[in-house]
Amino acid sequence: MCCTAPWGVPVEAPVHARLTRALRTGELQAGEVSPEDAFVDADAVGAGPSGQLLLAKRGDACVFFEPHRGNLCAVHRQLGPEALPATCRHFPRVALLDPRGVTLTLSMRCPTARRLLTADFDAPFDIVDGGPVTDGLSCWEGLDARDTLPPALSRSVLWDWDGISRWEENVLRLLATGLPVDTVLARTLEAGARIEQWHPAHGTTLAQSVDAAFENDAPLPDRLRDIDALDALARASVPPPLTSSVPPPDRADVDRHLVEPAWDTLRGTILRYLAGHVIGNRTACHTSGARAWAATLAVACAVLRVEAARACREADRLLDIGLLLRAAGEADYLLMHLVSPSGLARRIGATMEAA
């Protein structure tokens, strides 16, 4: 969760002033925490430039974290969400801003968000306007693509925003069928390949062509079966000074004995995890073709599978729902908080071009 994450949480100047005042007046009480103890200069902890304030930590957790109250936040509990730094107000929401508006998905790094993956698989995969996930926020920060052209559909044609929306709807509809994961990935990639052939001169709208492209029964190509190669694309896209964990050296052997036997039995949770990478897909905004967009889901699935092997190895037991949820948290830590979306998009594009 954000409160115990290894990254530092920046504190904006108005937030710093508000919290300092509340600590001094007693409006905010957090044990022995004083205004002098609550913040630290980023440069002093090697986490940023001098003058940038971060929330201080007590051990591995934020000084305002309240595990004794059920993992609450003292600031949120006493002052409300408007008093939080922007990072805390947003987490676990991940925002993408484009001409269609603000699109949100959730990072599975958050344990509360992870519980959504265990919901009844009969529930629909919907794109919802508004709702509880937007409560407490009126100003969104995230990848801002409002003043940019849509990403490339192919070498000579750009997506249009209606076409992207139709693509997302079709991918979610395919995920909701409950088909095997490899089948979903294969049909999405084939749909991307077909859509790349579209041109305005063909006489159909892009949205119409998107609908037709998903009517396929293609097999999954070998390049999207290489779990280690796909996972490596993500880990190589973490910009310094950030670092990612290294896959277990015996990943393939662990997978064969502890992950593969249970993987398909957890299909519903895996498909729900992938659905979270359809909406608000920041890497997709940088991709150079519909096949590359589709391949972002294959990369997410590969990272999840590698992290599942790590969880099974550490627990020394067969993959179960608890271990899969732990893997989802680690996978999204990498994909949503460490990876450079543009860097990953370039690597995926190069892989697709080489195929």
Indicate whether 68 and 186 sit together in one domain.
Answer: no
Phi, psi (rounded to 5 degrees) for 278: -90, -50
Indicate whether 67 and 168 sit together in one domain.
Answer: no
Indicate whether 54 and 165 sit together in one domain.
Answer: no
Indicate whether 296 and 168 sit together in one domain.
Answer: yes
pLDDT of the residue at 132:
53
Indicate whether 55 and 163 sit together in one domain.
Answer: no
Indicate whether 332 and 187 sit together in one domain.
Answer: yes
Residue 98 lies in a domain: no
Indicate whether 42 and 184 sit together in one domain.
Answer: no
pLDDT of the residue at 163:
93
Indicate whether 335 and 229 sit together in one domain.
Answer: yes
Indicate whether 201 and 52 sit together in one domain.
Answer: no
- For 232, other C-beta atoms within 10 Å of its C-beta total 17
Indicate whether 55 and 157 sit together in one domain.
Answer: no
Indicate whether 67 and 158 sit together in one domain.
Answer: no
Residue 90 lies in a domain: no
pLDDT of the residue at 49:
72
Indicate whether 242 and 350 sit together in one domain.
Answer: yes
Residue 126 lies in a domain: no
Residue 101 lies in a domain: no
Residue 97 lies in a domain: no
pLDDT of the residue at 121:
47
Residue 75: which of 131, 132, 13, 33 has the closest Cα?
A: 33
Residue 132 lies in a domain: no
- For 257, other C-beta atoms within 10 Å of its C-beta total 14
HEC assignment per residue over the chain: CHHHCCCCCECCHHHHHHHHHHHHHCCCCCCCCCCCCCEEEHHHHCCCCCCCEEECEECCEECCEEHHHCCEEHHHHHHCHHHCCHHHHHCCEEEEEECCEEEEEECCCCHHHHHHHHCCCCCCCCCCCCCHHHCCCCCCCCEECCCCCCCECCCCCECCHHHHHHHHHHHHHHHHCCCCHHHHHHHHHHHHHHHCCCCHHHCCCHHHHHHHHCCCCCCCCHHHCCHHHHHHHHHCCCCCCCCCCCCCCCHHHHHHHHHHHHHHHHHHHHHHHHHCCCCCCCCHHHCECHHHHHHHHHHHHHHHHHHHHHHHHHHCCCCCHHHHHHHHHHHHHHHHHHCCHHHHHHHHHHHHHHC
Measured distance CA(310)–CA(30) in Å, rounded: 36
pLDDT per 10-residue tile (average), the chain, 355 residues: 75 93 93 89 73 86 89 91 87 87 88 80 65 57 85 93 94 94 96 95 90 92 92 96 92 98 96 94 92 97 98 98 97 94 96 81
Among 55, 72, 89, where does a domain finish? 72
Range of the domain at 175: 151-354
Measured distance CA(29)–CA(89) in Å, rounded: 19
Among 51, 72, 93, where does a domain finish? 72
**Total structural domains in the chain?**
2
Residue 127 lies in a domain: no
b/e map of 137-159 (b: 16 or more CB within 10 Å)? beebebbebeeeebbbbbeebeb
pLDDT of the residue at 354:
75
Residue 125 lies in a domain: no
Measured distance CA(147)–CA(47) in Å, rounded: 31
Among 23, 57, 72, where does a domain finish? 72
Q: Are 327 and 311 in contact (CB under 8 A)?
A: yes
Amino acid at 146: R
Measured distance CA(91)–CA(309) in Å, rounded: 26
